[in-house]
A and B are shown apart, each in its own frame.
Chain A
């Protein structure tokens, strides 16, 4: 079942002194439960794609369908996790997690129970009444994950959510996120510039180039890696070959002057 379909998406950023073409003719589609990564140099419009799917930006041309309904008419919830956690410092962890339901005016006991269950699942139930500043980076990002999960979105957008964490925390969190998204059968797009992370977590990898943002290639991650959790996948025999292939492709881009 195709959940998300982008067909010929382009996006321009306009300013007083002209415009830049951030995206050109982006097309791909996602099946239910699929996990794809978008990999590419900075400025290739990776985050712009997510903002468009999250309805925070209006694309300038092309069509997007969610469940075959045009995105404008679709009521589908979309979960968006940013580079930093952006927990509200004046709210406790629990209040932060309940922000989505509060905005949508559907706070009730069932929702609160769900929040408690999810917090328990990510190991935060003992700090739920503390403020975000009292938590470590990894804990904060876990709280942000729960906040995004609360609205039960089918499509999950992750915008480099692990990039601000130390390596060990990052690996652990990758595992946790992969497990939870798998368990709830979420369809996910991860934006990253970490090749290893993309391979370890996803089913397919979309490689992009910059100026303008275009899709260069789409890689299928070997099936034996997909089945494994990220930490195990990183140590798998099939990991290094695809890593090298993607690495070389990125290097080639860089040499021809189109890279970073």
Chain B
């Protein structure tokens, strides 16, 4: 057999890659199609109770009518707004608290047991307290999205601050840098990758906080639709809300991923 030329080898390699991508995509689409088909068929044949588990076609119909009469948009925008706000305040708040812990060792030592307790505490259990304190409205729900992500952010980012190579600090101190200059020139930029990766975690956490918050109090939002659907036994509505939440959360996650890539590129 004649040995292949360099270009031919490279072409073969590229072809292999393309083929692999095709196989993966086929499987991905296949699994989804089979899943929805099984669901639809077993619902129609009463293998599963259509009243409880609905069916893809009913859910699809429902989403279409809800989009048409505009009622879906209100709920989606309310939930999105609350989640984004909870996510932003939680992340920024966490970074700020971590910064203050870094500035003062003594403050960090004093706060240590409280942070442990708050971190170990299931934050959703604070729901009723939040509602009493902030009233049964947006504020409590946003606070829920905030509270669930802020402590984790604080702990993770603070740890990252502490793990920055001490020699960078040494270099700066040999130039006579003060605490804020050390933070600005070394600690913050060195911890940026960790902060960005907490964004991804926080997206998921804020969704949890907001949906739970809506379960408890709201009159609007996707969490409300789920609870309402459950109470009036309209499981198509429950399922439809779940589908929309899944899509939105995935989109938001992808968005943060894009943001991460962009930030990494522009702050190396």
Contact = CB atoms under 8 A, between A and B. Distances in A.
Interface of A: 54-56, 78-80, 82, 84, 86, 88-90, 99-100, 102-104, 131, 151
A82 B172 CA distance: 12
Interface stretch (B19-27, B37-45, B174-182, B216-224): B174-182
Given A90-B267, A90-B268, A103-B185, A82 B170 contact: yes
A99 B175 contact: yes
Contacts of B171: 80, 82, 86, 99
A226 to B, nearest CB: 28
A99 B168 CA distance: 12
Contacts of A99: 171-172, 175, 185
B163 interface: no
B168 A88 contact: yes
Contact of B189 (A54, A55, A88, A100): A88
A104 B176 contact: yes
B186 interface: yes
Contact of B170 (A80, A100, A102, A151): A80
A82 B167 contact: yes
Nearest to A105: B181
B165 interface: yes
Contacts of A54: 174
A88 B186 contact: yes
Nearest to B167: A86
Give chain B's interface secondary structure class.
Answer: helix
22 contacts: A55-B174, A56-B170, A56-B174, A78-B174, A79-B174, A80-B174, A84-B167, A86-B165, A86-B168, A88-B185, A88-B186, A88-B189, A90-B190, A90-B268, A99-B171, A99-B172, A100-B175, A103-B175, A103-B176, A103-B185, A104-B175, A131-B268
B261 to A, nearest CB: 16
Contacts of A151: 175
Interface string B66-98: 000000000000000000000000000000000
Interface in B127-174: 165, 167-168, 170-174
A155 to B, nearest CB: 11
A100 B177 CA distance: 9
Contacts of B175: 99-100, 103-104, 151
Contacts, number: 45
A89 B177 contact: no
B165 to A, nearest CB: 7
B interface, size bucket: 10 to 19
Nearest to B168: A86
Contacts of A103: 172, 175-177, 181, 185
- Would you list the 5 A-B pairs with minimal beta carbon distance, nearest first? A80-B174, A103-B175, A100-B175, A103-B177, A90-B189
Contacts of A79: 174
Contact of B173 (A56, A88, A90): A56
B222 to A, nearest CB: 40
Among B172, B174, B176, B185: residue with most chain A CB under 10 A? B174
A104 B174 CA distance: 11
Contacts of B170: 56, 80, 82, 86
Among A102, A103, A151: residue with most chain B CB under 10 A? A103
B109 to A, nearest CB: 14
A99 B177 CA distance: 10
B32 to A, nearest CB: 41
Contacts of A82: 167, 170-171
A160 B175 CA distance: 19
Contacts of A84: 167
A151 B174 CA distance: 11
Given A82-B170, A88-B185, A90-B189, 19 more contacts: A56-B170, A56-B174, A78-B174, A80-B170, A80-B171, A80-B174, A86-B167, A86-B170, A86-B171, A88-B168, A88-B186, A90-B268, A99-B172, A99-B175, A100-B175, A103-B172, A103-B176, A103-B177, A103-B185
Contacts of B165: 86
B173 to A, nearest CB: 6
A37 B235 CA distance: 80
A90 B164 CA distance: 13
A86 B169 CA distance: 10
Nearest to A51: B170
Interface in B253-268: 267-268
A84 B174 CA distance: 15
A102 to B, nearest CB: 8
